[in-house]
Amino acid sequence: WHVITPLRSILRRKRDKPYLSECIPALMSQAGFPVWNVFDRMGGFRGMQTGPYAQLVGRDKVHYTQQGYEQQGFMFVSDFIDAYNNYKANKRK
Q: What is the pLDDT of residues 30-76, one digit of tens each?
A: 777 777 888 788 887 777 778 788 888 888 877 889 999 999 999 99
| 85, pLDDT greater than 90 | yes
Report DSSP state, residue 65: P
Cα→Cα distances 73→37, 41, 79, 81, Å = 13, 12, 10, 12
pLDDT at 67: 94
Give burial (CB, 10 Å; 0-12/13-18/19+) of 50.
exposed
64, 10 in Cβ contact below 8 A? no
pLDDT of the residue at 65: 92
